[in-house]
Amino acid sequence: MPKKIIAGNWKQNGNLKSSVTLTKGTISALARMKCKHEVIIFPPSVYLIPIQKLVSKKIKLGSQNVSAYDDGAFTGEISASMLKDLKVNYCLVGHSERRHIINETERALSGKVTRLFENNIRIIYCIGETLEEYKGRKTKTILRNQINSLIKQNKGNLKKHPKNLTLAYEPVWAIGTGLVPSMSELSDIFSFIRSTLNKVDSCYSSIKILYGGSVTPDNAAELMKTNHMDGLLVGGASLISKKFIDICSTI
């Protein structure tokens, strides 16, 4: 089986003690199960330094966010070069909570992607539709627009380093709600995403596609039966070591 990606987004949760405990428990369990897939954890940024000291070759470290700007007078921001200095391997960009709560624009997201490419940090770029868009049958239009916007603004970097980009389809209405698209819907959407990438350029065939949205140990194996699905972006279940490991073990 080709190597899959299992990523855990901790969001704004935990404290230093619980984050360290969760990291140690995850690393220990992965070592016992001899997991051969790419496992990534995305802790809150204030805990990146202590957690970076714990992670090993068994696990990759990701940042939940990055600045769209280079180093400079941008109070409160964290630049891609700073993440590189911390040996961060991945960064999330475009998560629905950043798009719809923080109101980040496509232009801002594009700037973040550019900075990450410049610093050789791999990107997990989230795309997805709202419940209103889903009910209005606008899912494919939204996804096409989000993908095309990303590619248009970063065509040069993507042509050179397509493997540095991973897409994560996260329908906004499925995040933290317990709702999950049907298997037929997922199959159709993932085929559409793959087709959209291939139509732009054949070099994008190496871009992996993940699913995120109410992923649990009970549905992970079934979700992974979807054609063109290369892994999972896990939210709430990644905050409990046993649940996250159970998800890893089902794949």
pLDDT tens readout for residues 82-96: 999 999 999 999 999
Catalytic residue among 95, 97, 104, 129: 95
- CATH class of domain segment(s) 5-250: alpha beta
Of 38, 104, 129, 170, which residue is the catalytic one? Answer: 170
Q: What is the DSSP letter of 83?
A: H
| Residues in a beta bridge with 93 | 125
Of 51-60, 72-81, 87-96, 217-226, the one with minimum mean pLDDT is 51-60
Kindly report, residue by residue over 73-130, the tens digit of the pLDDT: 999 999 999 999 999 999 999 999 999 999 999 999 999 999 999 999 999 999 999 9
| Portion of the chain with pLDDT greater than 70, in percent | 100
Nearest one of 27, 63, 70, 67 to 47, comparing CA atoms: 63
Gap between the Cα atoms of 248 and 150, Å rounded: 29
Residue 226 has pLDDT above 70, yes or no: yes
205-214: average pLDDT = 95
58/75 Cα distance (integer angstroms): 34
Q: What is the mean pLDDT of the chain?
A: 94
Q: Quick count: other Cβ atoms within 10 Å of Cβ 30?
A: 22
Mean pLDDT of the region 49-72: 94
Is the pLDDT reported for residue 1 higher than 70?
no
60 bridge partner residues? 40
Residue 195 confidence (pLDDT) above 90: yes
Residue 160 class from Cβ within 10 Å (0-12 exposed, 13-18 middle, 19+ buried)? exposed
Query: Quick check: is 170 catalytic?
Result: yes
